[in-house]
Amino acid sequence: MIRAAALTKSFGATGVLRGLDLDLARGRITGLIGPNGSGKTTFIKILLGLTAADAGILSFDGEAVGRDVAYRARIGYMPQIARYPENLTVAELFALVKDVRNDDRPLDETLIAQFGLRDQFEKRFRTLSGGNKQKVNAALALLFRPDLLILDEPTAGLDPASSAILKDKIIAERDRGCTVLITSHIMAELDELCEDVVFLLDGRVRFAGSLSDIKHRTRQTTLERAVASMFIREVA
């Protein structure tokens, strides 16, 4: 569904993406992993249309991404930190997002119900606990039934029960045919959810394949140890 070919991006003299080649399969959950500064955030910003690559091609569902940004309406994005107008109530925030999106397709309010967010609707966003802000963040990302779901540290701040609800929803979205891309430093979480793994280092893809393949290649039983083994091998 997503294809990047020879993507490059520099900020000043610092090269962040250095000929990145990547394919994300439709209807699968992929973990995007790598150390800080490996290019994960920059790639996601290019995918979201928040910054432009210096060179290379990025295609979404077979169409090259360019000046036409209509494809972004098919993306649900859950950032690591929910930054929304804090003076708005939760109800006003959902109404604002719906108005901005102007999407007449049926909404998916599953997480609103499962997280009990209607009990929070009259509260101002700034007064919510970190966990409840994260629940609102997740519910907004999934509200418009995206074809591509991008999640950045999705369970950060969530209690175990809420984390389980979100993980079940992610799997349900995959089963619906949604393509899911997750970045997280919690390897056990990715081990639980992901079918595919992309490992970035110094702006290049050093591994792209199935979860079972990276474990087989490194002769490790967990993703955490597989990634550690691969990182040590790459920097040695």
pLDDT tens profile 120-170: 999 999 999 999 999 999 999 999 999 999 999 999 999 999 999 999 999
Question: The tokens of 149 are what?
Answer: 């779901």
In three-state secondary structure terms, 39 is: coil
List Cβ neighbours of 85 (8 Å cut-off, separation of 6 or more).
Answer: 93, 96, 125
pLDDT at 103: 83
Cβ atoms of 166 and 138 within 8 Å: the answer is yes
The pTM of this model reads 0.95
- Is the pLDDT at 234 greater than 90? The verdict is no
Question: What value does the mean pLDDT take over residues 207-216?
Answer: 96
Question: The tokens of 105 are what?
Answer: 């397709």
List Cβ neighbours of 111 (8 Å cut-off, separation of 6 or more).
Answer: 117, 135, 138, 139, 142, 165, 166, 169
Residue 231 banded pLDDT, cuts 50, 70, 90: confident
- Is the pLDDT at 228 greater than 70? The verdict is yes
Residue 236 banded pLDDT, cuts 50, 70, 90: low
Q: Which of 2-11, 68-77, 217-226 is least confident? A: 68-77
Domain 2-235: which CATH number of 2.40.10.10, 3.40.50.300, 3.40.50.720, 3.10.580.10:
3.40.50.300
For a pLDDT cut of 70, what percent of the chain falls above it? 100
Question: What value does the mean pLDDT take over residues 93-99?
Answer: 94
Residue 24 banded pLDDT, cuts 50, 70, 90: very high
pLDDT at 146: 96
